[in-house]
Amino acid sequence: MTSHVTAKYQKLLSLLVSSFSSDSSRWTLRSRLSRMLPWVIITGLLAFASSKPCDTEGSNRELLLSLNKNLLRSLESQAGLPNPSVHLALRLSNYHNLAKESEHLNRLKNDLHNDIQSSLSNSQSVVGHLALYTLALKSSCYDLNTITFSISENSETLLTHLKRQMEQEKEHIAFSHRPLTNYYQYSLGVLALCVGGIRVNNHVSNKLIKAAEHEHFKHGESESVDTYAMAGMALQCVKDSGSHVQNAAELHTALSKIKQKLLDSRRIDGHIGNEFSTGLAVQALLAMGSEVAECAASMEAMRTAARNNTYHNPMAASQMLPALHQKSYLTVKSKECLNEDDTLVLEPIDPVVVLPNKNKVTVMVEVVPSSQVADVYSVDVSKGSSLLEALELLKGKNVGFTFEKESSLWGPFLSAVNGEQARQSDRRYWHLSADGTALTEGVSDFKIEVPQKITIKNTSY
């Protein structure tokens, strides 16, 4: 950085000197400015350091525009239900294509709404979807009181159903010490109610405070940075609303602990937890009062990852983009949909033809069921294939390996392997690892580039 600033001010020195016609004047000025140069450099360095370390409107504007456009394009190519998290990210951006956002909002109000209606009719817990739906609608300044669901011919508002589901989650914690779903969805529910202008029941928020205090935010054996981040935003919203006055000290302590957990999870490269949890973590830190400068390294890490196409999954990009705009989901609470930019245009892009890779790599697939008696299989796949493609090839070999998958906002996930299920209702999931290292991407996103051993293990949490 010193050489950059030195060069900058050497150029300024030359420009000033060349503006004088007299040789003696040039010599006198050059002599004086040369003596001043160290002070000029110091002043420049201080100015550089005090400027915004994450200037989203400057050198990084093109990156943000590119990410925005990629998210917009994902609306056209996405399979399955419309993603409320993507809508939320588009609405929190500084750049908009209001026509496409309005079109996506209508899809949410139809397709996602009908899916949630079906789940509620079948008495399923859908706190996460209800909460994200609420935040997405709120981000478009939509009147939440006009959104209703009907159960047994009884019509109630979206927020009423969310409150009821949160009460059920709270009761489940009371007798089983864990939510019906998980603390990530529980936190999302608290956040959505608060952002929606609903006073969160103290008993509901207290359960989240206690969970933070006793460090219950785990996924398997590891602490869940995503859950700490979402809980931080939820409890900060509760604090800002002024409704939680009985246990204000406990709330303050929980927020402090969450913030410290996030800071302690920072890696040397700036990411917090991993590349895919950093977006929510930065959102939470900003929401909890951290200065942008405190998040500079993490934001730069996300920008680097984005340039390397790490966030090609729309869900991952949707959690990262608000943070790069120095916003959080709490921003939705005070959002006004007035005088918004409407200049984002999607240019036509040439279709990319991907030729099949003739290079093959061998993948060993180990399946560890709940009995712990493992089966091992082998399959050769084209280099660059997704793990899902590898599993499909292995299934087609008829060697006894079978699997089933279900859809989620993150893409498909394994629900059953070799006839055995790992269900959320049983607090179990299929843990994926490559050569002993846990995967941070799903089966459709993780690419096979080298020979390796993939372990699929039925794991409790």
| Distance (Å, whole) CA 405 – CA 281 | 29
Strand intervals (E) in 161-253 = 218-219, 222-223
Inside any domain, residue 85: yes
Same domain, 381 and 267: no
Share of the chain above pLDDT 90, in %: 73
Strand intervals (E) in 56-190 = 148-151, 154-157
Distance, C-alpha 311 to centroid of its chain: 10
User: pLDDT tens digits, residue range 230-251?
Assistant: 999 999 999 999 876 677 899 9
Q: Give the residue with greater pLDDT, 426 vs 381.
A: 381
Same domain, 122 and 262: yes
Same domain, 110 and 28: no
Inside any domain, residue 55: no
Structural domain containing residue 179? 61-334
The arithmetic mean of pLDDT across residues 197-215, rounded, is 94
CATH of the domain at 434: 2.170.130.30
Q: How many domains does the chain have?
A: 3
Q: Residue 59: its pLDDT value, please?
A: 65
- Write out the H or E segment, with its range, that includes residue 61: helix 61-77
| Distance (Å, whole) CA 228 – CA 263 | 11
Same domain, 88 and 175: yes
pLDDT at 356 over 90: no
Same domain, 406 and 428: yes
pTM of the predicted model, to two decimals?
0.84
Same domain, 161 and 301: yes
Q: Are the C-beta atoms of 119 and 94 separated by less than 8 Å? A: no
Same domain, 417 and 326: no
Inside any domain, residue 56: no
Same domain, 158 and 268: yes
Same domain, 175 and 323: yes
Inside any domain, residue 339: no
